[in-house]
């Protein structure tokens, strides 16, 4: 009995909808994080010294490019947003296409890599931001946020969005991995039913 070509269409399964929804939210979270952080800039005129009774002022600017962790943060979140956008397009426009195992496998591995990337970026940024907020007395690093409050608030907003992106990408990755199993279940039930018929 020639083995029937077993087609498991992406179809409108529950996991397909769940994955699409999670991806859209993950896309929005990581894109928001990248935009807010990349626009994060504050300029202030501060008293930097006093000579006699005369205060010496200087105009200082805080921007994300000044901190390597924040540059990595923006790049990583842009990459993960792009990955999700691509996957959303692939998922919507190839719904009828045959969902061979290999395709699901590469999507699952790509999702895992992107979850790892956005988690790396969010954690690097949050620990450097914590130094900006609290300083480090051992290293004699003063806090920054007491002088650049808006800059730190926007930075915190971007980092919160990125952590939402991390949680969503972990869920996307878990669903994506589970679809390999669901695919194998469909695969074998169709194989058994075709053989019975």
Binding interface with a second copy (CB under 8 A): 1, 3, 6, 62, 66-69, 72, 101-102, 104-105, 108-109, 112-113, 115-117, 119-124, 126-128, 130-132, 136, 138-142, 144, 166, 170, 173-174, 177-178, 180-181, 183-185, 187-188, 191-192, 195-196
> Quick one: 28 or 182, whose CB is closer to a second copy?
182
> Quick one: 57 or 92, whose CB is closer to a second copy?
57
> Quick one: 4 or 92, whose CB is closer to a second copy?
4
> Quick one: 92 or 150, whose CB is closer to a second copy?
150
Is the Cβ–Cβ distance between 47 and 56 less than 8 Å? yes
Least CB distance to a second copy at residue 192 (A): 5
Q: What are phi and psi of 146, to 5 degrees?
A: -70, -20
> Quick one: 8 or 32, whose CB is closer to a second copy?
8
> Quick one: 91 or 178, whose CB is closer to a second copy?
178
Least CB distance to a second copy at residue 87 (A): 16
Contacts of 96 (CB under 8 A, 6+ apart): 9, 10
Contacts of 4 (CB under 8 A, 6+ apart): 194
Least CB distance to a second copy at residue 173 (A): 5
Is the Cβ–Cβ distance between 191 and 6 less than 8 Å? yes
Cα(120)–Cα(155) distance, rounded to whole angstroms?
A: 16
Least CB distance to a second copy at residue 89 (A): 22
Least CB distance to a second copy at residue 2 (A): 11
**Three-state secondary structure of 100-159:** CHHHHHHHHHHHHHHHHHHHHHHHHHHHHHHHHHHCECCCCECCCCCCCHHHHHHHHHHH
Least CB distance to a second copy at residue 144 (A): 5
Conformational region of residue 51, where left means phi above 0, alpha means psi within -120 to 50, and beta covers everything else: beta
């Amino acid at each position: 009995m020639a083995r029937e070509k077993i087609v498991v269409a992406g179809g409108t399964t529950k996991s397909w909808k769940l994955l699409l929804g999670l991806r859209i939210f993950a896309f929005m979270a990581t894109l928001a994080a990248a935009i807010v952080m990349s626009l994060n800039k504050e300029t202030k005129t501060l008293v930097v010294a006093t000579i006699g009774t005369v205060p010496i002022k200087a105009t200082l600017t805080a921007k994300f490019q000044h901190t390597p962790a924040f540059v990595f943060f923006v790049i990583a979140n842009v990459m993960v947003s792009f990955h999700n956008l691509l996957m959303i397009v692939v998922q919507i426009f190839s719904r009828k296409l045959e969902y061979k195992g290999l395709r699901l496998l590469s999507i699952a591995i790509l999702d895992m890599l992107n979850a790892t990337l956005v988690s790396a970026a969010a954690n690097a940024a949050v620990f450097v931001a914590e130094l900006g907020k609290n300083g480090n007395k051992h290293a004699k690093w003063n806090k920054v946020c007491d002088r650049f409050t808006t800059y730190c608030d926007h930075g915190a907003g971007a980092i919160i969005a990125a952590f939402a992106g991390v949680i969503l990408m972990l869920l996307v990755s878990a669903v994506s991995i589970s679809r390999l199993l669901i695919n194998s279940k469909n695969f074998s039930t169709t194989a058994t039913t075709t053989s019975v018929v």
